[in-house]
Amino acid sequence: MRTISIVIPAYNEEKNITPLIASIKEHFPHDRYQYELIFVDDGSKDATLTQIEEVAKHDEHVFYLELSRNFGHQNALKAGLDYATGDAVISMDCDMQHPPHLLNSLIEKWEEGYDIVYTRREENQSASFLKRKSGNAYYRIFNWLAEVNIEKGTADFRLMDRRVVDIFTQFNEDDLFIRGLVPWMGFKQAAIDYHPNERLSGKTKYSFRKMAVLAISGITSLSIRPLYAAIYLGLTISALALIATPFVILSFQPRHHIVFIWASLLLTIVFFGGLQLTVMGTIGLYIGKTFMQVKHRPTYIVRNSNLPDKH
């Protein structure tokens, strides 16, 4: 009987461990597959690891990786994928927002011959008009800058075939953005739409600031288009400056007078100063990423585990 690995990064999720395991057991197709649950404790400060260890003592299907510190969700997920041995690997969050009842649907799509089966969160119609429109604009801008097509509502709740996982584990990028790497890899993919559950317990780990950082990280790790955008912006500003040159010359003739000339001059200096800093910051970000990548540091460090040595 073939095995399905389920990888679950966990950070301060002590109250969600037991309900999640129970729900997975309830909905997993035991008649067709064996399974292993691999929890990756990403430096939790509560009793998350203790909860997992207690369950693992009495359940031969539950395993864990304890990372030496908090390396971030993407690196914790990469750690779980590296250690998973199943014929297919499902990744999901620990907060129960990724509904376990979809496990069978993911597996059935895989059985149809798809290499990757990803989930797509349906739009919340109760959200404000502004929020929905801003979300649509965000994905359009992201997809243009990142050069990959990330569908709205996709996250890290997906199934990947063994051969896809074997290729993915060879990646050694310092700045991981798995949500973008999966469509970049290609293969035969299918989507399943779903309504997310409410978070069972605890607080979301992704604030607006973290989401913005993740978006910038994802764009710059997948594409160099922002550098091209900086070039185009510079050329556009230069063209506008040339067009405005005759107006500047005429404005200094004795018979002409420009109101607020000093304020206009100051505004121009501030504008171009900000523009230069933005362009230099974009270039510096890519240089910084290169600097971190050439160090070849591991993306995570395992402190302890009950998994057998798979390497």
3-state secondary structure 73-123: HHHHHHHHHHHCCCCEEEECCCCCCCCHHHHHHHHHHHHCCCCEEEEEECC
Instruction: Give the end-to-end CA distance of the chain in Å, rounded to a whole number.
Output: 23
Backbone φ and ψ for 85, nearest 5 degrees, come out as -120, 0
Which one-letter DSSP state was computed for residue 165? H
Beta bridge partner(s), residue 194: 121
Start-end of H helices in 186-260: 208-222, 225-251
* Token digits of residue 104: 């069978």
Which one-letter DSSP state was computed for residue 308? P
* Token digits of residue 78: 């990469």
pLDDT of 260 reads 47
pLDDT of 287 reads 77
Classify the phi-psi angles of 19: left when phi > 0, otherwise alpha if psi is within -120 to 50, otherwise beta. alpha
Give pLDDT < 70 ranges for the chain. 124-138, 146-147, 199-225, 228, 234-235, 237-267, 270, 274, 289, 291-293, 295, 309-311
pLDDT digits 0-9 by tens, 257-302: 554 455 566 667 767 776 777 777 777 777 776 766 676 778 889 9
**Percentage of the chain surpassing pLDDT 70?**
69
What are the residues whose beta carbons fall under 8 Å from the beta carbon of 7, sequence distance 6 or more?
38, 40, 77, 80, 81, 84, 89, 90, 91, 92
Given a contact cutoff of 8 angstroms between Cβ atoms, the answer to whether 249 and 208 are in contact is: no
pLDDT of 290 reads 73
Q: For 126-157, b where at least 16 C-beta lie within 10 A, e where not — what string? A: eeeeeeeeeeeeeeeebbebbebebebbbbbb
Report the alpha-carbon distance of residue 215 to residue 49 in Å, rounded: 29
Given a contact cutoff of 8 angstroms between Cβ atoms, the answer to whether 68 and 303 are in contact is: yes
pLDDT of 95 reads 86
Given a contact cutoff of 8 angstroms between Cβ atoms, the answer to whether 42 and 73 are in contact is: yes
pTM above 0.75, yes or no: no
Given a contact cutoff of 8 angstroms between Cβ atoms, the answer to whether 190 and 115 are in contact is: no
Report the alpha-carbon distance of residue 152 to residue 121 in Å, rounded: 8
pLDDT of 109 reads 93
pLDDT of 154 reads 82
pLDDT of 212 reads 64
Backbone φ and ψ for 116, nearest 5 degrees, come out as -130, 130
pLDDT of 126 reads 54
**Residues 287, 290, 292, 295: is their CA dihedral positive or negative?**
negative
Beta bridge partner(s), residue 190: 117
